[in-house]
Structure formats: C-alpha cells, structure tokens
Amino acid sequence: MEVIEGKFYIDGEIRAASIGIEEGRIVKIGKNLTGDRIIRIEEGTVFPSMVDMHVHMREPGYAWKEDFESGTLSALHGGVTFVLDMPNTKPPVDSPENFRTKLKIASSKSYVDFGIAYLLHKKIDRSIAEEVTSFKIYMSETTNVDPVNYLMIPELIKDIKKNITVHAEFQECVQKSKKEGGNLLYHDMSRPETCEVMAVRYLGTVGGSGFHIAHVSSPDTVELSRIFGFTKEVTPHHLFLNRDMDLGSLGKVNPPLRSPFISERLRYLLSSGYIDVVASDHSPHTLEEKSDFKAAPSGLPGVETSLPLLFQAYKDSILTLDVLVKVAMERPGFLLGIPKGKIAPGYDADLSVIRLSDSRRIKSSDMHYKCGWTPFENMWGIFPRKVFIRGEMALDNFEETVEPGFGIYYKSNR
C-alpha cells in the first residue's frame, strides 16, 4: 500500500489524515498509516481533482486548434484529472468506428483520464451504448455541428441509462433571432435567453428526469431545470465574464455571454446550491480564426483556468468549499458514473494540492493551450502545485511529471 499524508478535504472538513492507496484507488483513510511508500504533503491542502464534464479537445479533425496532448496537459496544470470530450469533431463521434478512432487517438496522447461523449442525432447501435461515457444532444446549430430534429428526442433517448447532456438552445428561436452586428451585445441578442428557456421547456414535455443541461446562461433555465428534475451545469465564462467586457470576438461563445446582472445572478444561484456542476466547455479556436467578429467561430478555451478561478472565488468569499467540491468534483463524477471526484475508499486517488496564498494572475503565456490565449487574462486564479492521478504524482511543483498516454479511458459504470 502507498500512503499520502497531509491535510485533506474529507467529508466537508479539512483535517490531518493519511490515505492508503492500492492500484490507484483509495482503500483506507486513517491516521499514521504505514505503507511501502509514504509521501508527505507539507504545504497546502489536498482536494479531489476536478472532473470536467465538458471539453472539446478537437481531435480528430481540428488539431490545429487543440489536440489531446496540449488540451489534457492544460487540464493537468489546472487540477483537472478527468475530461469528458464532446463529439463535434471531424468525423463526429456518431458511429462505433468513429468512436474507436477517437479512443485510439486520446489513449495515445492524453495526460489525464478521459471519457468520450457520443453524438445522439440518429438511432444508435445498442452495443455502442455499453462502451461510451455519455451522450450529447445539440438542439441548435453551433460550431461544427447541426441540430437534431427535436421531435426525434423521445425516440433517441429510449432505454439510455447513461448521462445525456443537452446543448439546450431552440433552433427555431436561434434562426428567428439572428441579427447582424459585430459585438457581444448583438451576439447575446441573436441567441437570447428565451431560446434556452424554450429548449428546456420542450425537454420538460419529453418527460423523464434524465437530462443534464449544458452551460446554462440564464437564471430562468436554472429554475425550469430544477422544476423538471434535470441537472444543470454552468461555465466559468458565464459566471465571471459578461457581454459588456472588452473581449471582442474572444468572448463570442454559444450560448452567449449575458449582462453583468445575469452573471451575478448565476453566481448567486451557484453559491446557493441551485446548480449541480461547473464545467469549462473548453472550446478553443485560433486567434486568426477569431480575428473578425462576424466570421469568428463561437467558443473559448477554459480547461486550465476553471478550478483556479473557483478556488479564487472561494478565497474571495463568493463560494463555500462545500459548494466548490460538489460542483467541480463530486457531482460530475457521480453523474458520469465514474469513481472520481471524492476522497473516499473506492475512489481513484486523483488529488490536487492547493495553497490559497498561491493566487496569481492568469496569463496567456502561462497556459498550455495550442491556441495561445485565454479570455480570463489578468484575472486571479489559484493553480494546484501538485496533482496525483490514480495515486501517481502527475504534476509536482507546477511541472508535469508524466508523459502523454498516461491518461486512460473510463466508460460510465451505468
């Protein structure tokens, strides 16, 4: 047995403990455990690492924007040890063959553990449902993907027990709302909150409580989702950025950044426990692609800054640790049906060591993204100094200590 000693966040409190690890899993939590190897964490507190259930690592098909190596190295530096990759790649993950292609690429290049979401827009082969981590439905057009025919949704989701994440903007509403204009206010008006509300309202008529609503950008959607029993995620950009900031096309994303008032309401709903998950929706594009507002594709990078921004929000008294650990670690791990997100026996020893005095300004030049920029430039974040994946030290003193290919695939155990 290997042992890690230090101060841990366990069951809602920070306490001195030692945890015993066998084959990457936590097997024991106690005091002064003995083992074959003992690592003592002297500085900082040990938290579970983040489970980011919404990223676009862009492979196959768009590797000039990001690839599994650069994207998961960024994740590791941001305290994220599991990423769920979205299916809007080229080819899209909508056949067993395309699923296997992505699995092969990701397995050879990932620094952190990963899952693969399967695009649900046509009838699926039952055997593939066994293999995947989660499903994704796009109800509206967005970057590199066409909308589903929403009338097919009841049929498509039949018998699926795994997480079904929905990009909930209503296509007809998006089409009718289109406006010409070269700034974030226009982008907000051309995909208004009402489109999100309409989509979630439709999902409510489909019934069941199986949907997970991706990147909510409206307090009304949070409330409606609660009524329908859906889980919901919010992104750091909808929490900490808004359409009035001087971001230009770097802030162009779907669903759009809203007003400062709305992002404040989302922060309030998050801190009050009304939102289940924070996920990055890491969706990088190059600066060149982003150079002209109207032509720019929607999407922005974020996998490296999500957890640092959340710990900074805790330090700034915007969030409690209890909420932080639930939304960034425990709930996403649970929703995906993977043994991650908690420091408890039976879970992977995926840990991040955080010291609150490590706050520093977020700089594009420090990020590990291929695209070379972050929309959170100059904001404050607290980055992990050490990260463990399945008990192995993967980042030490802010430097990676594992190789690409270290990360392994997890399907959902549902």
Q: Which residues are catalytic?
A: 281
Which of 56, 121, 282, 385 contacts ligand DOR by CB under 6 A? 56
Cα separation, 306 vs 282, whole angstroms: 9
How many residues bind to ligand DOR according to rule CB under 6 A? 12
Query: Per DSSP, what are the bridge partners of residue 163?
Result: none
Which listed option, ligand DOR, Zn ion, none, makes contact with residue 253 (CB within 5 to 8 Å by class)?
A: ligand DOR
Nearer to ligand DOR, 65 or 340 (CB): 65
Residues 4, 5, 6, 7: what is their CA dihedral angle, to the nearest 10 degrees? Answer: 80
Which of 53, 117, 253, 266 contacts ligand DOR by CB under 6 A? 253
Chain residues 187-216 in contact with ligand DOR, contact rule CB under 6 A: none
Residues 385, 389, 390, 396: what is their CA dihedral angle, to the nearest 10 degrees? Answer: -40
Nearer to ligand DOR, 6 or 92 (CB): 92
Which of 18, 49, 98, 298 contacts ligand DOR by CB under 6 A? 298
Which of 81, 88, 133, 412 contacts ligand DOR by CB under 6 A? 88
> Measured from the CB of residue 56, what is the shortest distance to Zn ion in angstroms?
6
Q: What is the largest CA-CA distance in the chain?
A: 66
**Is 280 among the residues that bind ligand DOR (CB under 6 A)?**
no
C-alpha distances (whole Å) from 60 to each of 146, 201, 253, 370 are 18, 34, 21, 15
Which range touches ligand DOR (CB under 6 A), out of 230-238, 297-305, 345-353, 406-414? 297-305
Q: Please report the DSSP string for 229-283 in residue order.
A: T-EEEE-HHHHH--TTSS-GGGG--SSPP--HHHHHHHHHHHHTT---EE---B-
State whether residue 390 is helix, strand or coil: coil
Chain residues 96-125 in contact with ligand DOR, contact rule CB under 6 A: none
**Is 364 among the residues that bind ligand DOR (CB under 6 A)?**
no
Cα separation, 230 vs 233, whole angstroms: 10
**Is 283 among the residues that bind ligand DOR (CB under 6 A)?**
yes
**Is 306 among the residues that bind ligand DOR (CB under 6 A)?**
no
Cα separation, 142 vs 246, whole angstroms: 23
Nearer to ligand DOR, 139 or 367 (CB): 139
**Is 243 among the residues that bind ligand DOR (CB under 6 A)?**
no
Nearer to Zn ion, 54 or 411 (CB): 54
Which listed option, Zn ion, ligand DOR, none, makes contact with residue 142 (CB within 5 to 8 Å by class)?
A: ligand DOR
Q: Which residue is nearest to Zn ion (CB)?
A: 281
Nearer to Zn ion, 250 or 318 (CB): 250
Residues 58, 59, 60, 61: what is their CA dihedral angle, to the nearest 10 degrees? Answer: 30
Cα separation, 331 vs 250, whole angstroms: 29
Q: Please report the DSSP string for 139-153 in residue order.
A: -S-BTTBPPP-GGGH
Instruction: Give Cβ neighbours of residue 393 (< 8 Å, ≥ 6 apart).
Output: 39, 386, 387, 401
Residues that bind Zn ion (CB under 5 A): 281
Which range touches ligand DOR (CB under 6 A), out of 201-209, 262-270, 291-299, 301-309? 291-299
> Measured from the CB of residue 136, what is the shortest distance to ligand DOR in angstroms?
10
Tokens read off for 392: 């192995």
**Is 167 among the residues that bind ligand DOR (CB under 6 A)?**
yes
Query: What stretches of 93-183 show up as alpha helix (H) in DSSP?
Result: 96-109, 126-131, 153-156, 171-177
Which listed option, ligand DOR, Zn ion, none, makes contact with residue 77 (CB within 5 to 8 Å by class)?
A: none
Which of 49, 242, 254, 312 contacts ligand DOR by CB under 6 A? 254
The gap from C-alpha 152 to its chain's centroid, in whole angstroms, comes to 27
Which listed option, ligand DOR, Zn ion, none, makes contact with residue 74 (CB within 5 to 8 Å by class)?
A: none
> Measured from the CB of residue 348, what is the shortest distance to ligand DOR in angstroms?
28
Which of 350, 406, 407 is CA-nearest to residue 49?
350
Residues interacting with ligand DOR, by CB under 6 A? 56, 88, 142-144, 167, 253-254, 283, 297-299
